[in-house]
Amino acid sequence: DARLLAVDGDTVFVRAPADGPAARAALDAGSGAVRWSLDPAPPDLAETEGCVVDEVGGLAVCSAGSPQDAVLHLDLRDGALVARTPLPGDVVDWDLLDGDLLVAVREGARLVVVRVTPGLAEGDAPVPRWRVSVPLGGRGDARPLLLDARDGFV
């Protein structure tokens, strides 16, 4: 019993078992054959949840921690942890745009969206590109919010 984390072309990235932190694996979409597996998953990967495929870098980018305190950048060819990008504050949601990480954070009655280029080479720090702050209005803290990046728009 496995839980789907991400799909990239003919590679399916899963957590098995679906309700536990044990293994992470990449499967061939056509045959179901295991391409690689990490069993048990290393501590950094043990809490990975929802993943998005970075089409620019061929990486699975997954939320980690509870509450979310980082995203992990995993190489889908072998499962190697390429980078860990810390997330600031009260994270509402995150998404990818052209290889960059977009993070939406609540700051009081405002929603702050930050675009960060992750540091994917060893020793590289994430580089903030821009930051936008918008008021949430009277019921801002009660509404569920979703960050969506498509076609160059956030």
SS3 annotation, 21-42 = CCEEEEEECCCCCEEEEECCCC
Q: What percent of the chain has pLDDT over 70?
A: 84
Could you tell me which residue, 47 or 75, shows the higher pLDDT?
A: 75
Per-residue model confidence (pLDDT) at position 18? 54
pTM of the model: 0.77
Per-residue model confidence (pLDDT) at position 20? 56
Could you tell me which residue, 46 or 100, shows the higher pLDDT?
A: 100
* pLDDT category of residue 97 using cuts at 50, 70 and 90: confident
pLDDT of residue 66 exceeding 70, the answer is no
Euclidean distance between CA atoms 135 and 14, whole angstroms: 38
